[in-house]
């Protein structure tokens, strides 16, 4: 009696369609994982390039003025109905532009390093501070702070504050940080757009896109705003507009430009706004950030107490 031969499993090759589907799924999975890793690295992970900015600035050859600058802060409501806006303005009487300083979160330069504006202000003894241009959200733009060049990657229209008290709007792609330093640049701010040049409101600013990266495509419409202006008498104004609330809708860029022009602005520039818009006076937040509280940012502009 013969036993039956053992059965042999027959392996059928996967069809081309199935193999392609599996390959596509694997590629998609790796793409998602890689994309998440890239996003985390790009927008969340701290990348410290200069550990102690204050040390770097202290070793520079730039002569600075350490005396405190006098300033006056006012808050007013402009507009009406759904177009109402609450605006807080600080006009600073500077003896020298070097009294207007910048400070980085955690005293470090790099990407994604953030602290609350009030915390940064406390760390440097600021009597008055506003949020800056959130330089650490991007890896481009010329960054000169307190007379030290930290980044030389021209990308957009910038504001330059010179040690002699003058200001100018410059095309970063047509110059370099080294050239600006040689010309006496004290601070550069890379956000925008310019609001006022030579005392005139800049045309077309409501159509400007500052950045095209994730979550920051457009700054049009009524928004919380922060601006800096150099006035005809040589003083400097910090302007913060509350927004996204029943009490204050915010301002369009054109409305903001007209407002700072009314202050006597010769040159004015739009800084980071939205949830970042914050003014701190003697350690207290005197504006109403739209997030319901301060949002951590990478830098402030301030005058010492």
Sign (positive/negative) of CA torsion 63, 137, 280, 85?
positive
In a domain, 256, yes or no: yes
What's the rounded mean pLDDT across residues 253-272?
98
Sign (positive/negative) of CA torsion 118, 124, 129, 134?
negative
Instruction: Look over the chain and give the mean of its residue pLDDT values, rounded to a whole number.
Output: 88
In a domain, 108, yes or no: yes
In a domain, 3, yes or no: no
Residues 70, 158, single domain; the answer is yes
Residues 201, 114, single domain; the answer is yes
In a domain, 2, yes or no: no
> What's the domain count of the chain?
2
Residues 109, 35, single domain; the answer is no
Q: Where are the beta strands (DSSP E) in 123-224?
A: 126-131, 141-145, 148-153, 157-162, 167-171, 185-189, 194-197, 200-201
Of the two residues 208 and 161, the one the predictor is more confident about is: 161
Residues 100, 31, single domain; the answer is no
Residues 39, 109, single domain; the answer is no
Residues 100, 38, single domain; the answer is no
In a domain, 7, yes or no: no
Residues 55, 139, single domain; the answer is yes
Q: Residue 103: which H helix or E strand, with range?
A: strand 101-104
Residues 124, 64, single domain; the answer is yes
Q: What is the pLDDT of residues 12-62, one digit of tens each?
A: 455 556 655 665 666 565 566 666 665 556 556 778 899 999 999 987 656
Are 66 and 304 spatial neighbours (Cβ–Cβ below 8 Å)? Answer: yes
CA distances from 293 to 116, 154, 240, 275 (A): 10, 33, 15, 8
Residues 6+ apart with CB under 8 A from 266: 167, 196, 198, 199, 229, 230, 231, 232
In a domain, 8, yes or no: no
Give me the domain span that covers residue 31: 15-45
In a domain, 1, yes or no: no
Give the DSSP letter of residue 297. Answer: B
Say how far apart CA 160 and CA 18 lie, in whole Å: 60
What are the counts of helices (DSSP H) followed by strands (DSSP E) for the chain?
5, 19
Residues 120, 39, single domain; the answer is no
Q: Residue 74: which H helix or E strand, with range?
A: strand 70-78
In a domain, 83, yes or no: yes
Residues 29, 141, single domain; the answer is no
Residues 230, 124, single domain; the answer is yes
The residue written with tokens 């410059």 in the block is 170
Residues 40, 134, single domain; the answer is no
Q: How much is the pTM?
A: 0.85
């Amino acid at each position: 009696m013969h036993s039956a031969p053992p059965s042999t499993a027959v392996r059928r090759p996967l069809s081309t369609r199935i193999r392609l589907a599996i390959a596509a799924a694997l590629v998609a999975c790796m793409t998602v994982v890689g994309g998440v890793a890239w996003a985390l690295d790009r927008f969340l992970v701290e990348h410290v390039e200069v550990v102690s900015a204050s040390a770097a600035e202290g070793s520079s050859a730039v002569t600075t003025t350490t005396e405190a600058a006098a300033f006056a802060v006012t808050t007013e409501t402009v507009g009406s109905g759904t177009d109402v806006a609450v605006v807080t303005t600080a006009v600073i009487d500077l003896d020298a532009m070097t009294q207007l300083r910048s400070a980085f979160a955690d005293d470090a330069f790099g990407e994604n390093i953030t602290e609350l504006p009030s915390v940064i202000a406390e760390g440097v003894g600021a009597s008055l501070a506003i949020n800056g241009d959130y330089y650490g959200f991007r890896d481009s733009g010329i960054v000169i702070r307190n007379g030290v060049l930290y980044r030389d990657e021209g990308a957009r229209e910038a504001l330059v504050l010179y040690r002699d008290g003058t200001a100018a709007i410059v095309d970063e792609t047509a110059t370099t940080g080294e050239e600006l330093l040689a010309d006496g640049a004290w601070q550069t701010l890379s956000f925008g757009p310019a609001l006022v040049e030579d005392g005139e409101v800049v045309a077309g600013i409501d159509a400007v896109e500052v950045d095209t990266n994730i979550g920051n495509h457009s700054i049009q419409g009524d928004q919380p705003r922060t601006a800096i202006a150099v006035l005809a008498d040589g003083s400097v104004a910090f302007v913060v507009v509350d927004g996204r609330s029943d009490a204050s809708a915010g301002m369009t860029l054109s409305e903001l430009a007209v407002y700072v022009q009314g202050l006597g602005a010769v040159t004015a520039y739009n800084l980071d706004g939205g949830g970042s818009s914050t003014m701190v006076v003697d350690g207290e937040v005197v504006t109403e950030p739209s997030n319901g509280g301060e949002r951590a940012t990478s830098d402030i502009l301030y005058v010492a107490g």
